[in-house]
Amino acid sequence: MSTLPRQLRFGVSPFGMAILSAVIFASNSGTVSAAISLTSDPALDFADVYTTNPSAYSTAEHAFVETRMLRQTFKNDAAFDIGQAVLSLRLSGTDGTANSGAGEGGLMISLYQVDDVNATTWTAALGASSPTPFHSWTIPQTTSIPATSDRLGLTFTGADVINLPVRNTGTTGYGIEISSLDGVTSMGGLRVTASGIDDYADGVFYREDGTISRPERDAGLALIAEGALAAVPGDVDNDREVDLDDFTIISDNLRNLVGGRLQGDLTGDGVVDFNDFREWKSNVPPLIAASAVVPEPSSWMLALAGFLLAGWRKRRDWKVPTFSRCRFASCKVQAGALVSTLFIAHCSIAQAAITFTSDGGYPPSPTMGTPLVDQAGVEGTFTLDPQQFSVAGRGISGTRQLRQSFQVAETFYVGGIILSHAHGAGQGGYIIDFYNVDDVTTSTWTPNGAPFKTITVPNTVNVPSSSTTLEFVLSGADSFTLDARGDVGNSDNAGYGIEVSNFDESTNNGNWFHSNNGTDNYTAGRYYIENGNTSNNRDFGFALRTTDVQPPGPGDVNEDQAVDLADLQVIRSNFGQTPATRIEGDLSSNNLVFFEDFREWKNNYPPANPIAALSTSTQVPEPSTVLLAMLGFAGWGSLARRRS
């Protein structure tokens, strides 16, 4: 394997000066003494094994308390000696005085061989491999452990430096297990990703009960080789050469939030931007640099900005939004300024246009267990109203994911999601996922693949209280089409499943009510609790309200079911606006009208060659293709508006 650069840089971090705690103790081998140094919030650049940096994505946290053993699986592609490790732990810190109340805890970190890095349970992941760890690092209760905001760094010496062989064939790999040494103390939290995207495909995070939280979630982990060399400036892929391979990574991830250097973040600020491109360009041989086609902001980006700023004439300044769960503070850029690094990062949590209706009932006073499509021609779907039967409830709390399967008799547009739900004072936010299922009557929750639709309500949104029902009213791109699927009466058990959980995985959002009379009043589906098992003859109260408004397609700003110049005019007029909605040009749902929205419009404009089609009226080329033509947009203001 090639020698990899050192990941940890001890010194000042974004969270303040690093706290270095040298810890001397007997190695768990029982024969050799070793020392482990602990560091608060080390920089995150390179690693031989690297899962993800949760802080660069939408971040959740799982309490690191008491007897909990939290795990993450991973693969290793090249053998190396582990000299350092970084764990995504937010710790409150201890003073090293055992049994004093503040100094209890300690840490136990163990490594296992696993047979399946993506198994649904930790037991299944271990498979036929030994259920005991092949190595453990122990940090006693008498050790002073620094407080951290995002990461804990560990540097090993002596017998604590171990070799990690290659293990990546098929589904095989390794697992790391983290727990407090005393099994009593609340240490803090393990940070995991919550973006809804599987940022690390070669492993998964397991909770204390051995189940996965969500199949796409991962805890942050980095393992670094002992004696690793310093990074080569401009070298992204760590082959110790600065070449076009490095440029390609930067180009592919430009303006994206990323987890580290291997994804193009040479400057370590959590985002791939022109500062990273400049570092590459400053260190690459001149002939290679000349062949690269990503221009500096002074060419394509500022030219495009010149056009779009023409629609900005009445706006004196622009505020970059402070995203919930994104790492950017608000700043202002004067409209006339030449911005050298004009970008906005992709936030993984879209700010959905969702409103709420409390205790509004079901449409239109449906008969229990009868699909809405069978009632006066109203399309939709409906399970039952638990209030009409013996009613019970189950809390949407902690890490619980509650589900209900159902069938749809006729294709319709979904305009509202209604839950039999008593929402109290908790503001934990919601995640509502929709899945295809092959059998709505099966006794265990077995969805078919990943969710095809996700509705996200961050915990920063104030959700009103309710007593019997809570409706999530959808509009714009949040509404979606649900096709007819399944007919239990004709032995077709296919259908859908809805999964409801809270966004922060800790707050109690209140009860989702279900029937409790011992009779199967809804035969086209079942309810499933958090462990994936069903409960006999019970169903959650749930309905989908129809809308006559067809969900807009990609690129359709004004929601008139067409992608045309009227949509471009809206983007141009509102360019830089925040906050923003879809009908104001925010196609990418990041609360800002920006380049991403223009590109989505352009990619979906009907002509095969949108540049040529626009040449007679308004040419808006992609920045990487035609640069000077962009300047022509500075005076463009005569495009006829179409009524939306």
pLDDT of res. 356: 94
Average pLDDT over residues 308-316: 46
Identify whether the C-beta of residue 508 lies closer than 8 Å to the C-beta of residue 395.
Answer: yes
Residue 293, classified by CB atoms within 10 Å of its CB into exposed (0-12), middle (13-18) or buried (19+), is exposed
- Structural domains in the chain, sorted by start: 37-225 (no CATH), 244-290 (no CATH), 379-546 (2.60.120), 565-604 (no CATH)
**Residue 124: strand, helix, or coil:** helix
Higher pLDDT, 296 or 255: 255
Distance CA 6, CA 20 (A): 17
In 3D, which of 638, 477, 624, 630 has the Cα closest to residue 550? Answer: 477
Distance CA 205, CA 397 (A): 19
Distance CA 119, CA 128 (A): 13
Sign of the dihedral defined by the CA atoms of residues 435, 436, 438, 439, in that order: positive
Identify whether the C-beta of residue 383 lies closer than 8 Å to the C-beta of residue 522.
Answer: yes
Higher pLDDT, 44 or 262: 262
Largest Cα–Cα distance of the chain, in whole Å?
A: 82
Average pLDDT over residues 5-20: 31
Please report which confidence band the pLDDT of residue 458 belongs to, taking 50, 70 and 90 as the band edges.
confident
Q: Please, what is the average pLDDT of the chain? A: 75
Sign of the dihedral defined by the CA atoms of residues 285, 290, 293, 296, in that order: positive
pLDDT of res. 613: 44
Tokens 């998964």 locate to 204
Question: What 8-state DSSP symbol labels residue 421?
Answer: E
Contacts of 50 (CB under 8 A, 6+ apart): 221, 222, 223, 259, 260, 262
CB under 8 Å, gap of 24 or more: what pairs does 601-610 form? 601/555, 601/557, 601/563, 601/567, 601/568, 601/571, 602/555, 603/554, 603/555, 604/553, 604/554, 604/555, 604/556, 604/563, 605/555, 605/563, 605/564, 605/568, 606/563, 606/564
CA 614 to chain centre: 37
- pTM for this model (two decimals): 0.45
Please report which confidence band the pLDDT of residue 353 belongs to, taking 50, 70 and 90 as the band edges.
low
- Return the ∠ at Cα 392 (arms to 390 and 397), rounded to 5°: 165
Higher pLDDT, 86 or 351: 86
Question: What 8-state DSSP symbol labels residue 564?
Answer: S
**What separation in angstroms does the CA of 618 have from each of 300, 563, 621, 639?**
17, 15, 10, 8
Contacts of 433 (CB under 8 A, 6+ apart): 451, 453, 454, 455, 498, 499
In 3D, which of 285, 268, 269, 267 has the Cα closest to residue 277? Answer: 267
Indicate the angle between helix axes 565-573 and 595-604, nearest 10 degrees: 180
**Residue 604: strand, helix, or coil:** helix
Average pLDDT over residues 18-25: 34
Please report which confidence band the pLDDT of residue 3 belongs to, taking 50, 70 and 90 as the band edges.
very low
pLDDT of res. 13: 34
pLDDT tens figures, 44-81: 666 788 888 887 777 888 888 888 889 999 999 888 88
